[in-house]
Amino acid sequence: MTERVESLYGIDEESKAIWVFLGQIGGNLEPVSLELLTHGRQLADQAGWTLVGLLLGHEVGHLTEQAIAHGADEVWLADHPLLEEYTIDTYGRVVFDAIMEGKPSAFIAGATPNGRDLLGRLAVRLRAGLTADCTDLKLVTETGILISEVTGFGGGVLALIEAPTHRPQMATVRPGVFPLSEADASRKGRIIDFQVLLSEDMLKTEVVETVVGAGVDLTQAEMLVIGGRGIEGDFEMLRELADALGGDIGATRPPVDDGFIKRERQIGQTGVVCRPKVAIVCGVSGAFHFAVGIQDAETVIAINTDPEAPMFEFADYCIVGDAAQIVPALTHALTLEKVPSV
C-alpha cells in the first residue's frame, strides 16, 4: 500500500476555526473578503467554530473594525512596510507562518488574481487540498468537513469536492457568489498582532507599478446592460441605457476580442460572474459559457433579432427585435418617466 501524501498538520492538531484571507488593495478590503466573512459567519455559527480574518498590509489597522463588523471573531493583523503591496515572497511567508501558528481547520480566500496566486502556492507548501473558484461552501457540522462546489467544463458540470484528511481545507471562492451582510458596528472582536520578521533581501519580485483605474467591478452592479456580437460595437447606446438605470455595462467575449470594449467587462465563465437585479442582454446568442455569468441574475431581459437564439432560454422577458431600435426607445421611455410628475 502506497503511503499517501500528508499535510504538514493534521486533524488531531487543528483548531476549529475558519480563516478568511482579507485581501486589500489600496487600503480598502476587497468586497469578496467581506462576502467570505458573511458566509463564514453562518458556517461558524452552525458548527460552533471561530471565524478569523487574516489581514496583511501596511497601516491597515483601521480595516480590522470593518472585518469584525462583518462577522469576524478575531482578526490577526500583520502590519509591516514590506506588506504594503502584495508579493508572493512576503505574503507567502507571512500567511504560511500564521497558518502554522493558528492551525485552522479551513482557510479560504477570494478567487482573485492574488488569492489564486497565494493559495495555489501555499497549498503545495502545506501539502493541503485546495479547491478553486468555488461557487458554494458548506460545512458538515458533525465531521468538520468543508464541501466546495465548483463548476467545470464551462459551467455545465457541478462537482462537490472535499479534502477530508488534510488540513487546512483550502478554497478560493468566486467573487459575487455570496451576498454581503450589513455591517454591524456593535459587534465585538479580538485583534491579534501577528509579529513578522521581513527584510528587503527576502523580496525577489519587485512591484514596479500598480494601476487600478476606474475600478470596474461588475460583481457589485445591480443593473447591467450587456452587449454581444449583435450590437456591432455600439456600446455607447448601451451606456446611455445603463446611465438611465444607474447601472453599468458588460459584454460577451466577441466584442472584447474585437477590441470594442475592455476585457475587464467580459461576463461569463472566463470573465466576471455577476448577480445583478436585472440583466438586459442585447445581441447575445447565448452560448453556455456566457450564460453562466448571469445565471444568478434576478431578472434577465434578452433582445435578439433571431427568434431561435438560445439566449431566450435563459431569459425571463424575450424580445425578438433589433437592439439598435429597442435600446434607445427604452432609454427614452425611462428618461421621460424620471421627470417628476408634480
Partner 1 sequence: MSDLKIVVCMKVVPKPEEVGVDKETMRLDRENARSEMNPTDMNALEMALDFKDRYGGSIDVVSMGPPFFSHFLPVGLAMGANHIYLLSDRDFGGADTLATTYTLALGIRKIGDVDLIFCGEESSDGATGQVPPGIAEWLDINQITMVNRLDYDTEREMVRGQREIPGGHQIVDTPLPVVISVATASNEPRFMDYRLKSWAFEDERITVWNVDDLKADPGYVGEPGSPTIVSGLEQAPSRERRMEFIDGTPDEIALRLAGILEDRM
Note whether 119 binds partner 1 by CB under 8 A. yes
Q: Can you tell me which of 98, 166, 178, 304 binds partner 1, judged by CB under 8 A?
A: 166
The footprint of partner 1 on residues 9-38 (CB under 8 A) is 25, 30
* End-to-end Cα, the chain, rounded Å: 82
Options 128, 137, 224, 251; binder of partner 1; rule CB under 8 A:
128
111 binds partner 1 (CB under 8 A): yes
* 208/81 Cα distance (integer angstroms): 16
Which range touches partner 1 (CB under 8 A), out of 39-47, 60-68, 110-118, 190-198?
A: 110-118
Cis preceding linkage at 113, omega within 30:
no
202 near partner 1 (CB under 8 A): no
DSSP state of 152: E
Asked if 58 touches partner 1 (CB under 8 A), the answer is: no
The C-alpha atoms of residue 91 and residue 82 are separated, in whole angstroms, by 9
Closest Cα to residue 33, out of 113, 115, 97, 95?
115
Closest approach, Cβ 49 to partner 1, in A, equals 20
Among the listed residues 27, 152, 184, 202, the single contact to partner 1 using CB under 8 A: 152
Report the nearest approach of partner 1 to the CB of residue 172 (Å): 8
Taken in order 328, 330, 335, 336, is the CA torsion positive or negative?
positive
For partner 1, which residue of 22, 47, 99, 123 counts as binding (CB under 8 A)? Answer: 123
Report the C-alpha gap between 22 and 44 in whole angstroms.
Answer: 17
Q: Which single residue is written with the C-alpha cell 455607447? A: 236
Tell the smallest beta-carbon distance from residue 240 to partner 1 (Å). 13
CA dist 328 and 130 (Å) reads 47
Which residues in the 253-282 window bind partner 1 by CB under 8 A? 253, 256-257, 263-264, 269-270, 277-278
Amino acid at 243: D
57: contact with partner 1 by CB under 8 A = no
Angle at which helix 235-245 crosses helix 323-338, to 10 degrees, equals: 30
Residues 291-320, interacting with partner 1 (CB under 8 A): 292, 295-296, 298-301, 312-320
Nearer Cβ to partner 1 (162/232): 162
Helix, strand, or coil (residue 223): strand
Select from 1-9, 37-45, 47-55, 72-80 the region that touches partner 1 (CB under 8 A): 1-9
